[in-house]
Structure 1
């Protein structure tokens, strides 16, 4: 990545993080949701995704002082939204076959936020046969394995068969690349994210999969850029930063910068942002926070790999 690309990525990430921080209250949990967190994982999905973005900014350590402070404040906000971890504990205790509490907690754990009772419950849960046998889609099973790895619970009875989990995914089969569709595209990106822990462990991609992605990422990225699906395009850009030899294209960063709004929002697709959304900040946030999260993560992972920032052991 040249200095010009690095500046573009930095600007995209900084604006995206600022927008997420400024509008974080729109993703807050209502009292009724907090009381019924065990009912629906989607109720706190937004909080989990904000946590992911903030945790990766802090982990990478390549952002400026202002951005690092915003990420820490955003993470604090999300942690308090979840009762400093207590709501995740209640969710997993009442619904032991769900995985979202484990996945969400891992984002906090990588940033030093720990809840001992929850960790003991997770350690018990990941050691159960039922946890390994539950019928999730393959890339979600990898998500749980990576979460256990981040928390430090991927050994002993809770150990995961990484090769077996990998080969069960669409990407693991390295199939005919022209048969990819929109939903499979997201499965591909998340398989790469979890195998590498969002770029921290690029060697987690088997050699044949890394070669396959190196060949086909440019094609897929162009396809979804042409379709104006900025969310998936940016996710594929993250995958490029997860490769053993990071891949990036100037045109992708220029396209992402061109569609980003001045306030930092990244639209989900090529459709104009609804005028009604401009009059309803909460609706605007709900419609476009995810691609803005993805843009922040893409910038962070690309800069971290490009600058070869040192990773802290166990981070």
Structure 2
């Protein structure tokens, strides 16, 4: 599926007739509250270790839950209700893995699969570790077979970042992996479409360790994104691609330098119209025409990404305000200034 044509100018525009924007922090709280109430959807069943089990419906959602919770914890104070909820959900997710024991079994069943390490790395970055799994995986990671596994460039970056977070020596330089990506080529902006959009967002996530180190983005890539991310985001919001819009907002808050407040203000005002009163955000569409809640699989990821992007936005705006000596401009970090 291809997004509509990108406009030539990088400025976003307001959407007439939408309800007043809610505070960005409120969107994060509502999203995480929904996730907490629907945590059973992330439960690992017997198929998690099945020979022909579907990783995309078992380990992938659990790993995404863990990663978002790690990010929320990083950017919030321990006494913050967001931090408390994220910590509770992270403990739930770690319990689902048998406190890491299931990763050992996965490594035995699929020694050269990278997805177990990619999921495990989120837990490891929060200090939740299993020494037996790390020893076993470190052995496999030293093999030529692991080093030459054929992967998409952005997936290679994911593995490299996962190795680093898990204390395993990186088998390749991250900058070399970046050079092979669509984004690093600074492609013609009109070649942006959904697949490219999701690829570029994850390139930035792996490069910055999910928004933790914005300075890791090379200046040419950062400049390119600052110019073209606004019209891409505008296009996705107009097309009601809420999931990708949230990922692009997370990218906007993962770039070096001060965030573009006008861009964030407009985008969050428009995205707020997609969030249901219960807190979920559908992956696509549904604004003004929803008659029933979508299935868990059709909204869990976009809801997680709403919490992730919102927390990053609030944190970067707070940092920028503090740098400017205007801490009060963000209302305690809870909103987007005009």
TM-score (norm. length: structure 1): 0.88
Q: 2:113 aligns with which of 83, 98, 102?
A: 98
Following TM superposition, by how much is the alpha carbon of 1:305 offset from its aligned partner in structure 2, in angstroms?
2.2
Following TM superposition, by how much is the alpha carbon of 1:234 offset from its aligned partner in structure 2, in angstroms?
0.8
- What is aligned with 2:329? none
- What is aligned with 1:126? 141
- Deviation digits for residues 72-128 of structure 1, max 9, x if unmatched? 111111111111111122112321221111111111111111111111123223322
Following TM superposition, by how much is the alpha carbon of 1:271 offset from its aligned partner in structure 2, in angstroms?
3.1
Does residue 1:232 correspond to 2:244, yes or no? yes
- What is aligned with 2:8? none
Does residue 1:202 correspond to 2:217, yes or no? no
- What is aligned with 1:177? 189
**CA distance in 1 between partners of 2:87 and 2:125 (Å):** 13
- Deviation digits for residues 209-234 of structure 1, max 9, x if unmatched? 11111111001100111111011011
Alignment of 1:1-315 (within 5 A): 8-30=23-45, 32-36=46-50, 39-42=53-56, 43-62=58-77, 65-154=80-169, 158-245=170-257, 246-248=259-261, 249=263, 250-271=265-286, 275=291, 278=293, 284-308=295-319
- Deviation digits for residues 232-260 of structure 1, max 9, x if unmatched? 01100000011002345211111121211
**CA distance in 1 between partners of 2:298 and 2:181 (Å):** 29
Provide the aligned C-alpha RMSD in A.
2.2
Query: Secondary structure at 1:84's aligned position in 2?
Result: coil
- Deviation digits for residues 7-30 of structure 1, max 9, x if unmatched? 822111111111101110122122
Query: Is the 8 Å Cα contact of residues 9 and 299 (structure 1) preserved in structure 2?
Result: yes
**CA distance in 2 between partners of 1:135 and 1:304 (Å):** 37
Query: Secondary structure at 1:242's aligned position in 2?
Result: coil
Q: 1:285 to 1:100 in 2, by over 3 A?
A: same
Unaligned runs of 5+ in 1: 1-5, 310-315
Q: 1:118 to 1:37 in 2, by over 3 A?
A: farther
Q: 1:63 to 1:271 in 2, by over 3 A?
A: farther
Greater than 6 Å deviation, 4+ residue runs: none
Query: Is the 8 Å Cα contact of residues 38 and 91 (structure 1) preserved in structure 2?
Result: no
Query: Is the 8 Å Cα contact of residues 281 and 299 (structure 2) preserved in structure 1?
Result: yes
Aligned residues: 296
Following TM superposition, by how much is the alpha carbon of 1:286 offset from its aligned partner in structure 2, in angstroms?
1.8
Query: Secondary structure at 1:209's aligned position in 2?
Result: helix
Unaligned runs of 5+ in 2: 1-20, 321-338
Q: Which range moves more in the overlay, 180-189 or 297-306? A: 297-306
**CA distance in 1 between partners of 2:266 and 2:78 (Å):** 22
**CA distance in 1 between partners of 2:138 and 2:53 (Å):** 23
- What is aligned with 1:313? none
- Deviation digits for residues 163-222 of structure 1, max 9, x if unmatched? 210011100111111111111110010001100011111111111111111111001100
Query: Secondary structure at 2:295's aligned position in 1?
Result: helix
Following TM superposition, by how much is the alpha carbon of 1:65 offset from its aligned partner in structure 2, in angstroms?
2.4
Larger Rg: 2
Q: 1:62 to 1:160 in 2, by over 3 A?
A: farther
Q: 1:212 to 1:223 in 2, by over 3 A?
A: same
Query: Is the 8 Å Cα contact of residues 38 and 95 (structure 1) preserved in structure 2?
Result: no
Q: 1:37 to 1:47 in 2, by over 3 A?
A: farther
More helix, by proportion: 1
